[in-house]
Amino acid sequence: MATYTLTHVEKKPLSFSVPVLAAAGAFAGLFIGTAQGSGPIGFVGGAVMLALLGLVCLTALSNDKEKIARWLILLGMAAAGYAFGALPGLVVGALFGWFFGWFIYWIGEGRYRANLVPYLTPGQVLWHYSFRVICGMIFFFLITPIVVVMPLSFNAENFFTFTPEMLRFDPAGYSLKHYRDFFNSPDWQQALWNSVTIAPVATLLSVTFGTLAAIGLSSEHVPFKRAIMAILISPMIVPLIISAAGMYFFYSRLGLQGTYWGVVLAHAALGIPFVIITVTATLVGFDRSLTRAAANMGANPVTTFFRVQMPLILPGVISGGLFAFITSFDEVVVVLFVGSAGQKTLPWQMFIGLREQISPTILAVATILVSLSILLLATVEVLRRRSERLRGMSPG
């Protein structure tokens, strides 16, 4: 937030502020009302309540009494929340109170224009803020399902349910038993072991073949470049279930179905496109004259590759490898076909668990996997930045 203002701020007429506040109240009330059992009542109640609050605050409690008014709203809403839903209600109520206390004055005093250039039309101002709200909503809807899973994995019950104890923040409602179950159950441990032994080998194969293919395809003299590229990328585009069924029958004839190497090869094939794409992208910034210079100094192609080219495209290789790893680690469709019960991977075990007994152990595993994925993606991001820096430094 800038500390200076671009536009002179002046108080808005009540004929503007009160309807806007009522609309915001109706919107919030709709959610609370639906959660409490009746949407329409919440809708009307929210609108009336915020309109009245706005009226009082902007006429009687403006200027120097603003601080007091905002604290009053916060405490009032927190108390109302407590009356409705105990401790969780208190927290939600306080958050609402804090927000609306700020919002009433932000609208009423016209502060929302302060950081915008003066010549914007009202329509443009509206769009400026709606755009941000829409972005926030998209973010919210993407993240919430994942975030909801995490507290549920600490459930003391064997169901996917927020128990009353959990909502009261009673420690008795929480437990680590699903995490214990994950670490003690031979089924889950076997599945973890299978995933851990399959994914790295599949990744290694994908990275090796994918990198070689990308380097080959980025040199000028290869015929049918586009066609070859399309075939290599196809596992990413063809629906997974089609690849899986095809692999099932093909591998059965070769005697590979239901074997460790069968699953590894299938996962490697799925991972190769990711490696090709990331490495090809890195190669765009790679200066070919470096390899010619190396050759000029007597290095053979293999030495050139490992001493000159590889270090420069390493970030692309590693991020491609991480994608290949996550693909293998998260994959369930192909392994269901190509693997047999002896190659049950983590996602497979989760799939079974979800269908046959909805046990929060799955959520515990999901939480662990999500944390792992975040870690891996953070690594990719760090590497990507490094790659950009390197590319910026390379002579071009």
Residues forming contacts to other proteins in the complex (CB under 8 A) are 157-161, 187, 248-249, 252-259, 261, 340-342, 352-353, 355-358
List, in order, residues 6 or more apart from 125 with CB less than 8 Å away: 112, 113, 116
- For 359, the token pair is 């046990």
- Closer to other proteins at the Cβ: 92 or 256? 256
Least distance to other proteins, CB of residue 350, Å: 12
Least distance to other proteins, CB of residue 342, Å: 5
Least distance to other proteins, CB of residue 268, Å: 12
Closest alpha carbon to 390 in 275, 279, 285, 276: 285
List, in order, residues 6 or more apart from 128 with CB less than 8 Å away: 116, 120
- Closer to other proteins at the Cβ: 47 or 191? 191
- Closer to other proteins at the Cβ: 108 or 360? 360
Least distance to other proteins, CB of residue 26, Å: 27
- Closer to other proteins at the Cβ: 117 or 341? 341
Q: How far apart are CA 122 and CA 272, in angstroms?
A: 51
Least distance to other proteins, CB of residue 161, Å: 5
Least distance to other proteins, CB of residue 331, Å: 18
Q: How far apart are CA 139 and CA 151, in angstroms?
A: 19
Least distance to other proteins, CB of residue 93, Å: 24
- For 349, the token pair is 């075990």
- Closer to other proteins at the Cβ: 14 or 336? 336
HSE-up (13 A, CA, CB side) for residue 170? 11
CA of 117: how far to CAs of 108, 130, 131, 248, in Å? 19, 17, 17, 62
Distant-in-sequence contacts of 235-244, Cβ < 8 A, 24+ apart: 235/269, 235/270, 235/272, 235/273, 236/270, 236/273, 236/274, 240/333, 240/334, 241/333, 243/269, 243/270, 243/334, 244/333, 244/334, 244/336, 244/337, 244/338
Name the residue with tokens 């927000």.
Answer: 99
- Closer to other proteins at the Cβ: 257 or 328? 257
- Closer to other proteins at the Cβ: 112 or 260? 260
Least distance to other proteins, CB of residue 358, Å: 4
Closest alpha carbon to 275 in 209, 230, 337, 219: 209
- Closer to other proteins at the Cβ: 144 or 340? 340
- Closer to other proteins at the Cβ: 217 or 358? 358
Q: What is the DSSP letter of 12?
A: P
Q: How far apart are CA 194 and CA 258, in angstroms?
A: 13
Q: How many CB atoms lie within 10 A of CB 141?
A: 9
List, in order, residues 6 or more apart from 321 with CB less than 8 Å away: 203, 206, 207, 275
Least distance to other proteins, CB of residue 168, Å: 16
